[in-house]
Structure 1
Amino acid sequence: MLDEPAQSRLDALRRRHFPSERNHLDAHVTLFHALPGEQEAEVAAVLAEAARREPPKAVVGEARLLGRGVAFRIDSPDLLALRADLAGRFDTALTRQDRGKRELHVTVQNKVAPEQARALHAALSDQAPEPTAVVALGLWRYRGGPWNPIATYPFTA
């Protein structure tokens, strides 16, 4: 989760441009798509421990065309380092998609026609980088429908 005003701006873009029938979450930086659900207590403990540090600094960077959507690149060496630490803790349980993750982003549009995505990308491409901070880690569970929030871990150092 990002600090204000970045979070509010990205939430507004997501509400405006993400198909409403698919938009069940606020704007967010996905560190992992799947952590082991059967180890939820351990995952929660690891995230709580990880949040006992300074909030990672970040920059909301350039708009990126995803083909059928648009995302903003998130530049944050500190958050990537934290992600690598967490990945090491759950290495054997990570999906192939999560093992190969090297960049961070916030998706503000997805599952639209390519020409609609290109138009939004063009409209957002001139936005200046926005310094921000990562203020919390969130844990969510997918139970076959919309995502359900489990816990939020604010950075506390």
Structure 2
Amino acid sequence: MAEQPPLILTLQLDEPAFAYFNALRQAHFPANINYLDAHLTLFHHLPNTPAVSGLLEEVAVRQSIISLEVSAVIKLGRGVAYKMQSPALTALQEYLKQQWQPWLTPQNRQGFRPHITIQNKVEVETANQLYEELAAAFSPFTAKGVGLSLWEYRGGPWHKVRDYNFRNI
């Protein structure tokens, strides 16, 4: 039997925030390696097991929409991202981290620094130029996390397994 591809868990953004970040990503991420829409990753490389999807079903039905503060433009070395802050998102990620502790890779065990990457894998000078441009015009704003998306990683583009929408309260 073939081994199942690992899973990636992301936060779904409300439509206006998704459109904003995705337009920036389409404009600034190198097109030849931009396989994905804008996203906020919660976990990389989870096991492809029913225990993962089962917990997500339970969590989604009791989780209300999450308020996110888009608090800064940040440098990633060879890229640029938007820093996100949310006590509710941090608490959700920590809860899931505790439940999945035995399966977590070193990357998933690190501290959680939520962000949305809009540029990566470019020359440092190119990244610095975009950072300066975006930071000069930046004012903090809010967005919403409206659910979770589970993806299979097969070495290139991600393949969506399922969305788990939060209750609308």
Normalising to structure 2: TM-score of the pair? 0.88
Aligned counterpart, 1:6? 17
Aligned counterpart, 2:134? 124
Structure 1: how far apart are the matches of 2:121 and 2:167?
A: 36
Deviations 1:92-129 (A, max 9, x none): 11011110132100000010000000001001113111
2:65 partner letter: P
Contact 1:19–1:109 under 8 Å retained in 2: yes
Which residue of 26, 31, 42 corresponds with 2:42? 31
5+ long unaligned stretches in structure 1? none
User: How much does 1:20 deviate?
Assistant: 1.1
1:139 partner letter: L
Deviates more, 1:66-75 or 1:142-151: 142-151
Contact 2:35–2:156 under 8 Å retained in 1: no
Structure 2: how far apart are the matches of 1:116 and 1:72?
A: 17
1:47 partner letter: L
User: How much does 1:5 deviate?
Assistant: 1.5
Aligned: 1:51 with 2:60: yes
Contact 2:13–2:144 under 8 Å retained in 1: yes
Which residue of 119, 123, 126 corresponds with 1:109? 119
Deviations 1:6-41 (A, max 9, x none): 11110000000011121111111100111112x2x2
Structure 1: how far apart are the matches of 2:37 and 2:70?
A: 16
Aligned: 1:145 with 2:156: yes
1:74 partner letter: M
Deviates more, 1:138-147 or 1:67-76: 138-147
Number of positions where the alignment pairs a residue of Structure 1 with one of Structure 2:
155
Normalising to structure 1: TM-score of the pair? 0.94
1:5 partner letter: P
Contact 1:30–1:104 under 8 Å retained in 2: yes
Q: Going by fraction, where is strand more abundant, 1 or 2?
A: 2
Structure 2: how far apart are the matches of 1:144 and 1:16?
A: 23
Contact 1:6–1:130 under 8 Å retained in 2: no
Structure 2: how far apart are the matches of 1:100 and 1:123?
A: 30
Deviates more, 1:95-104 or 1:67-76: 95-104
Aligned counterpart, 1:93? 103
1:84 partner letter: E
| Segments of 4+ moved more than 2 angstroms | none
1:83 partner letter: Q
Aligned identity (percent) is: 43
2:58 partner letter: E
Task: Give the secondary-structure state (helix, strand or coil) at the position aligned to 1:51.
Answer: helix
Contact 1:58–1:134 under 8 Å retained in 2: yes
